[in-house]
């Protein structure tokens, strides 16, 4: 087997054989196939696609590159959730303890932000003392004792994907649907969860900009999960507008705690409950009521125990940025558009995200929104507040938010986009 023949097969729109896929994934993981060769193959896949058989085999080969976890010793059924990434997407934070409060075990292996999308681990690391890195034994102990855990995937879980994702990020091949699907599902299947709910974002702030691409990605991932024995469903959800009223790390933790306390923005609560019901249904816990678990404080109890179990202090003061800049409404009327991508880029430029994996994020940086589409605004009133420790970042961030919103005259009809756009699986 040689890598040139594998590249040529896909370059010429051929179907990769099982043997070719197994070999190239193993050889790349071991370093026999060079980065420039794998980037050429990734581009050929982006341009020419893969069929269902190829994607399934590619996913299986990435799973086989590392270990597989086993949760069969747990006393609860397992349910997991994965989001394809967005702006203000703090849903994992209230969702994991909420589903655990209803009787499931939630092994939430999460990642860090890159570019305009926020990372769950970056948000939680704003909590003093909280640890993202747990051993498999620690993870199992927290799951059994608390019911939910949010942590980083270990190096042994699908190492081929870790290496390939870093390459895709710098070669313009992140958007390849076969590679997105296999990247997500190789980790989730190797993780060993019994059921999985996918939150596939659609809109300007998402990787999938339109419904057709989102449906293709969701269908591909649902098929991969189902074929591997994982009960899988997907919700297509709107990411044209940021979720909630914050985009940033500590800012989003505060908002998540508000949701767990029975408050918080309506869109965050709505999506949290929709995903919770899907997860509980997939885990065989159809009679559980997540709305009740939010209202009676049991979800908050699990949150506090989960944070404590991972070394964090749930009562600690969260970091606050040293500098603020208020963006005011230029006119009175109705806010009709607030672009998720532009807000995400502003938060990133303020220090809430990273341009490279090794960059350090600012815990207190980000964007706080004072209005959402459909709200009435007055000229000169605060529209959003920018937070950062480094005020020299304001000018660059303001370039992003200048075109991020539209205000129409009062009385103009406005129709909000629903949060959940479709369901697959």
Report the catalytic residues: 82, 161, 168, 183, 187
Cα(313)–Cα(310) distance, integer angstroms: 9
Distances (CA, A) of 297 to 94, 142, 218, 310, 330: 12, 20, 33, 20, 41
Does residue 239 contact residue 338 with C-beta atoms inside 8 Å? no
> Residue 407: what are its φ and ψ, rounded to 5°?
-120, 125
For the chain, the distance separating the N- and C-terminal CA atoms, rounded to the nearest angstrom, is 37
The owner of tokens 């005011």 is 328
Q: What does the block give as tokens for 220?
A: 């591909």
User: Could you tell me if 163 and 28 are in contact, meaning their C-beta atoms sit under 8 angstroms apart?
Assistant: yes
146: three-class secondary structure by DSSP: coil
Find out whether 416 and 373 touch, Cβ atoms under 8 Å.
yes
Phi-psi category of 311—alpha, beta or left, where left has phi over 0 and alpha has psi -120 to 50?
left
How far is the CA of 171 from the CAs of 44, 130, 175, 187, in angstroms? 12, 33, 11, 22
Residue-by-residue DSSP string for 316-344: SPPP--SEEEEEEPSS-EEEEEE-HHHHH
Pick the closest to residue 332 from 380, 378, 381 (CA basis): 378
As beta bridge partners, residue 236 has 200, 422
Structure tokens at 355: 């341009």
Q: Reduce the DSSP state of residue 85 to 3 states and report it.
A: coil
Residue 410 three-state SS? coil
Pairing relationship of beta strands 420-424 and 231-238 according to DSSP bridges: antiparallel
How far is C-alpha 142 from the chain's CA centre?
Answer: 22
SS3 state at 264: coil
Please check whether residue 127 is in contact with residue 307, taking contact to mean a CB–CB distance below 8 angstroms: yes
Q: Which of 25, 76, 79, 286 is nearest to 192 (CA)?
A: 79
* Residue 353 DSSP label: S
Q: How far is CA 421 from the centre of its chain?
A: 17
């Amino acid at each position: 087997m040689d890598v040139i023949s594998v590249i040529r097969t896909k370059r010429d729109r051929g179907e990769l054989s099982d043997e070719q896929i197994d070999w190239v994934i193993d050889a790349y993981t071991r370093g026999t196939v060079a980065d420039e060769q794998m980037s050429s193959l990734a581009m050929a896949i982006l341009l020419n696609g893969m069929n269902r058989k190829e994607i399934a085999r590619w996913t299986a080969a990435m799973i086989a590159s590392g270990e597989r976890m086993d949760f069969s010793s747990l006393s609860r059924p397992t349910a997991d959730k994965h989001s394809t990434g967005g702006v203000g997407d703090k849903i994992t934070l209230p969702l994991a303890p909420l589903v655990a409060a209803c009787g499931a075990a939630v092994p939430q292996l999460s990642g860090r932000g890159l570019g305009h999308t926020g990372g769950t681990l970056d948000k939680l690391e704003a909590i003093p003392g909280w640890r993202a890195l747990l051993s498999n034994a620690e993870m199992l102990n927290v799951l059994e004792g608390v019911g939910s855990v949010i942590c980083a995937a270990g190096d042994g879980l699908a190492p081929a994907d870790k290496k390939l994702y870093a390459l895709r990020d710098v070669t313009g091949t992140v958007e390849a649907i076969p590679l997105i699907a296999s990247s997500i599902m190789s980790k989730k299947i190797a993780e060993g969860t019994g059921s999985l709910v996918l939150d596939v974002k659609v809109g300007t702030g998402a990787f999938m900009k339109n419904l057709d691409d989102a449906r293709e990605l969701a269908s591909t991932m649902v098929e991969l999960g189902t074929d591997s024995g994982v009960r899988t469903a997907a919700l297509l959800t709107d990411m044209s507008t940021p979720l909630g009223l914050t985009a940033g790390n500590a800012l989003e933790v505060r908002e998540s705690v508000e949701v767990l306390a029975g408050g918080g923005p309506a869109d965050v609560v709505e999506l949290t409950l929709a995903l919770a019901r899907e997860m509980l249904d997939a885990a065989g816990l159809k009679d559980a009521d997540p709305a009740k678990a939010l209202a009676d404080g049991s979800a908050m109890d699990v949150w506090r125990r989960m944070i404590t179990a991972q070394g964090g202090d749930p009562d600690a003061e969260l970091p606050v940025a040293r500098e603020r800049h208020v963006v005011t409404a230029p006119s009175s009327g109705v806010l009709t558009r607030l672009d998720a991508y532009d807000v995400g880029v502003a938060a990133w430029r303020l220090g809430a995200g990273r341009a490279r994996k090794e960059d350090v994020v600012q815990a207190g940086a980000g964007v706080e929104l004072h209005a959402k589409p459909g709200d009435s605004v007055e000229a000169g009133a605060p529209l959003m507040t920018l937070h950062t420790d480094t005020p020299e970042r304001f000018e660059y961030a303001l370039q992003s938010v200048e075109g991020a919103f539209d205000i129409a005259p009062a009385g103009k009809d406005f129709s909000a986009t629903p949060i959940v756009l479709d369901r697959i699986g």
